Each structure stands twice: as C-alpha cells, then as structure tokens.
DNA sequence: GGCTTTGTGTCAAGCCCTCGGCACAAGCTA
DNA sequence: TAGCTTGTGCCGAGGGCTTGACACAAAGCC
C-alpha cells in the first residue's frame, strides 16, 4: 500500500517525532507488517518537505527500538519481530479511546454528551 | 473550583503551549466562565515546576486572543466576552470525537472495533 | 565492473523554548 | 500611607530541533 504520512504545521510537536509516532502506530496497528518496505529517506523527506536528517532521525530511533531494520542501499523495512506483543493492536485502540474519553470528562462533558457526539461520527 | 492543570514531561509539546491549550479548552467548554480568576503566575509556575516566564507567556498569548484579561496587581481573569461563540462547547467535543474516529480509521480499525473499544470506556 | 540507490555521519548556522534572576509598575489591602 | 501581591519586561545562558550541504559505505541493478 501507499504509505500515508502527514505533517501538521501548526502542531508544535517536532516533525521527527510526528513521523516516528505515526510509523510506530502503523506497525502496532498491523497496517505495516514485517518485511514491508518504507519510503527511502530522500523521497519521504521530499514529500513531507523536511530535511533528510529529520526523517533519518525518525528511522534511526525506530530501529533502536527494534521496530525497523535499515541497511545502506537496501532501504528500511519493518523488522521481523516487530509484531505487536499479543494484542497490541487492541491495546492501541483502547488506549486511544480511554485518552479521548478522559479528556472529554475533564472538560466537564457528560457521558451522554460524549455518546451523542460519537453517534454523529459513527453509523451506529 | 480548583484548577486542574497538568504537564506531561514526556510530551515534546512546549510547556507554555500545553498550558495555553488546556486553559483555552477549559474556557471553551464552559468550566471557566467570564470573571473567573486564574492562579497567580508564580503559584501556577511553582505547582507545574516551570519558570514564571513560561506561564506568563501562556497568559499573555491568551490575552491577545481575547480570552483573558490581565492587570498588574489584579491578577488574571477570564475575559467578559470569552464565552464560546454559539455552541462552541458542542463544537469542541465534536471536534475531539471526529479527530479520534479519523485517527482510528486511518490506522485500519473498523467502525465496529471502535464502538467496542468505546463501550469499555462508557457505560452505554 | 560501473552506476545508481540508499542509509549514515558530520558540520555550522539559525531558530525556538526554557531557565533563573532581577527590576519595575500597577492594583489591592491593612 | 506603607507593604504586599501580581503581571510585565529584560537579560544571558543553555539545550533541543531543523536546515542545507557534503562525504562516505553498503546494497542493488545493468
């Protein structure tokens, strides 16, 4: 599949962190599996409008975490043992859901309001 | 009420941005209304473990947006005309919900999976 | 073998953010 | 009036991030 990575300019999060996080999530969610090849440094950097070193840093850190394997001339691929540890996919989604609900509650929204808002997004 | 502001150390977002966003959300959500007083600079800075100038910057930017009014010696309060423009409270929540659902979908989760995950967080 | 691709490393420069401290001005309070 | 509180401004120092450029090494391709 064609990798869809985006950068949000108004987001104060450093670009290399945005790339790093998105790739990690894609792997944990299973959209990127072991052996899948990532875009070359220069190509991804060009698409995102950032310097080569910026994307390089994201790749490097993910490799240090064991999620990617990089070889000169061979490109960067998802590591063989990068599969989420037993239900990581579900945990990722539930973490996102818990985070969203918690934030809404601290802002004073009731559970009913939250459910109504979600109903507009999901064909229940 | 006692203001509950928190800083996430592992979050690469600059502290002054975190404070600024949380306060803006609290006002939009209606938990902070016109005339409500915010903690003094030095107190909030001490609680969060940041420098005075850091919190000061958050206050200053929010004042420039018209959400706060600051006076030397008088403290900082929510501006009189700071109420969200007609349904801002609802829009805030729906924006959060839309963002959450969109992110989950781009990670390959089906609507059913999303609903199930939310069901664990909300007593439906 | 020769060329291209690709990841890695370095470097200087600049910008943004934070810190800690200090001084100052304006409002509030006793 | 006198003192405290509070927001504002400035400063130098330090750290993190990005940029742009260049060189290098290893793998793949013809």
**A53 in a domain, yes or no?**
yes
For A124, which of B93, B98, B115 is closest by C-beta distance? Answer: B115
Residue B63 domain flag: yes
Q: Report the protein residue whose CA lies nearest the C1' of nucleotide D5.
A: B73
- Mean pLDDT along residues A88-108: 95
Q: How wide is the angle at C-alpha B23 spanned by C-alphas B75 and B16, nearest 5°?
A: 85
User: Are B64 and B43 in a shared domain?
Assistant: yes
Same domain, A71 and A95: no
ipTM for the predicted complex comes to 0.84
Long-range contacts of B71-74 (CB under 8 A, 24+ apart): none
Range of the domain at B35: 15-78
* Protein CA B101 to sugar C1' C12 (Å): 44
Mean pLDDT of chain A: 92
Residues of chain A whose beta carbon is less than 8 angstroms from a beta carbon of chain B are 4, 12-14, 17, 25-26, 29-31, 90, 92-94, 96-98, 100-101, 103-104, 106-109, 111, 113-115, 117-118, 120-124
pLDDT given for residue B21 in this prediction = 95
pLDDT of residue B87: 81
Helix (H, G, I), strand (E, B) or coil at B85: coil
Cα–Cα dist B2/B24, whole Å = 16
Chain A 19-38 residues in 7 Å CB range of strand C? 38
Q: Is the CB of A72 under 7 A from strand C?
A: yes
Angle at alpha carbon of residue B106, lines to B101 and B111, rounded to 5°? 50
Q: Has residue A108 been placed in a domain?
A: yes
Q: How many domains does chain B have?
A: 2
pLDDT tens per residue across span B91-110: 999 999 999 999 999 999 99
Residue B90 to residue A117, Cβ atoms within 8 A: yes
Please state the three-class secondary structure of chain A as a single string. CCCCCCCCCCCCCCHHHHHHHHHHHHHHHCCCCCCCECCCHHHHHHHHCCCHHHHHHHHHHHHHCCCEEEECCCEEEECCCCCCCCCHHHHHHHHHHHHHHHHHHHCCCCHHHHHHHHHCCCCC
**Nucleotide closest in space to B71 (CA vs C1'):** D7
Q: For A19-74, what is each residue's pLDDT tens digit? A: 999 999 999 999 999 999 999 999 999 999 999 999 999 999 999 999 999 999 89
- On whether both A34 and A70 belong to a single domain, the answer is yes
- Collapse the DSSP code of B75 into the 3-class scheme (helix H, G, I; strand E, B; otherwise coil) and give the result: strand
pLDDT (tens place) for every residue of chain B, 124 residues total: 677 899 988 889 999 999 999 999 999 999 999 999 999 999 999 999 999 999 999 999 999 999 999 999 999 999 987 666 668 899 999 999 999 999 999 999 999 999 999 999 998 7
Q: Which residues of chain B make contact with A94, given a CB cutoff of 8 A?
A: 117, 120-121
């Amino acid at each position: 599949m064609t990798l869809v990575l985006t950068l949000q300019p108004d987001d104060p999060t450093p670009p290399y962190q945005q790339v790093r996080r998105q790739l990690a999530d894609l792997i944990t969610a299973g959209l990127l599996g072991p052996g899948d090849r990532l875009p070359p440094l220069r190509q991804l950097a060009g698409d995102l409008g950032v310097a080569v070193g910026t994307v390089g840093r994201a790749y490097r850190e993910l490799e240090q975490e064991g999620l990617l394997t990089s070889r000169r001339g061979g490109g960067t691929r998802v590591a063989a043992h990068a599969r989420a540890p037993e239900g990581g996919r579900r945990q990722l989604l539930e973490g996102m859901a818990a985070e969203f609900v918690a934030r809404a509650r601290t802002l004073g929204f009731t559970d009913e309001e939250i459910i109504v808002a979600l109903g507009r997004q999901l064909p229940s």
